[in-house]
Amino acid sequence: MSSAAPGLTAHLFEVKSAQLPLVTLLLKSTHLNEVANELQQRYGNNPDFFAGDPLLIDLCVLRDSEESVEWSFLLPLLRRYHLMPVAVKGGNPKQMQSALQAGLAQADEATYIRADAAGQTYAQAAPAPEPELLPALIVDKPLRSGQQVYARGRDLVVLAMVNPGAEVIADGHIHVFAPLRGKAIAGARGYTDARIFAASLEAELISIAGVYRTSDKPLPANVQGRPAQVRLQAGPDGEKLVLEPIN
């Protein structure tokens, strides 16, 4: 992968493969004024609905059409709705060529998460707009085996113990000011800067943005049963959980 000159110890960059969740726009018309009207109708009241989501434009419906797509009109239109067009797929050679010239990548191998429900993919990729400040969800009763709390789109603060078999889940951080013995899942929708704080870390499972660790692998002695925080650190072999005592 890397072919640096011998003797050079530090690389200025690295090339890695990556994947990206995308929102797809299945374009069904080349009459872009009408498309603009419909966008205005559906999202006009809600200009922040798409929070800068990268966008794939699917032309498969227009593949047999002779008409070309007016990229210089469409791309700025989409950006006004905070969509970031990055790639195109499914068009005929002429349409694909013009898209390439407009700066879009060709992504014919891109697949839908749900092949038959493009609308659902939208729903998954674009979270509903939320007020600017969602205060943390506070739980002051013990969470016992079988109980689950989910702080959607916000932090979770738990003032009583979280017992084995209980689950605390948050899209933001999780703070437990008592023994944390159950499962704790922070950054549940992929927020990688989320952290877990516990007054006594004894969790069965800890997870941040999908990177998890079970108690099958015992917690290090310097955090086990102590005040500790858990965060995600990007490293050369991908992201890993870092467990640190809090003094």
Contact status: 215 vs another protein (CB under 8 A): no
The least distance separating another protein from the CB of residue 147, rounded to whole angstroms, comes to 5
Contact status: 214 vs another protein (CB under 8 A): no
Q: Which of 95, 121, 163, 207 binds another protein (CB under 8 A)?
A: 163
Contact status: 142 vs another protein (CB under 8 A): yes
Contact status: 164 vs another protein (CB under 8 A): yes
Considering only the stretches 75-83, 116-124, 145-153, 237-245, report the one whose residues sit in contact with another protein under the rule CB under 8 A: 145-153
Considering only the stretches 87-95, 163-171, 183-191, 225-233, report the one whose residues sit in contact with another protein under the rule CB under 8 A: 163-171
Considering only the stretches 7-15, 64-72, 100-108, 139-147, report the one whose residues sit in contact with another protein under the rule CB under 8 A: 139-147
Residues 169-188 close enough to bind another protein by CB under 8 A: 181
SS3 sequence of the chain: CCCCCCCCCCCCCCCCCCCCCCEEEECCCCCHHHHHHHHHHHHCCCCCCCCCEEEEEECHHHCCCCCCCCHHHHHHHHHHCCEEEEEEECCCHHHHHHHHHCCCEECCCCCCCCCCCHHHHHHHHCCCCCCCCCCCEEECCCECCCCEEEECCCCEEECCCECCCCEEEECCCEEEEEEECCEEEECCCCCCCCCEEEEEECCCEEEECCEEEECCCCCCCCCECCCEEEEEEEECCEEEEEEEECC
CB nearer to another protein: give 40 or 147. 147
Interacting residues with another protein (CB under 8 A) = 141-147, 161, 163-166, 181
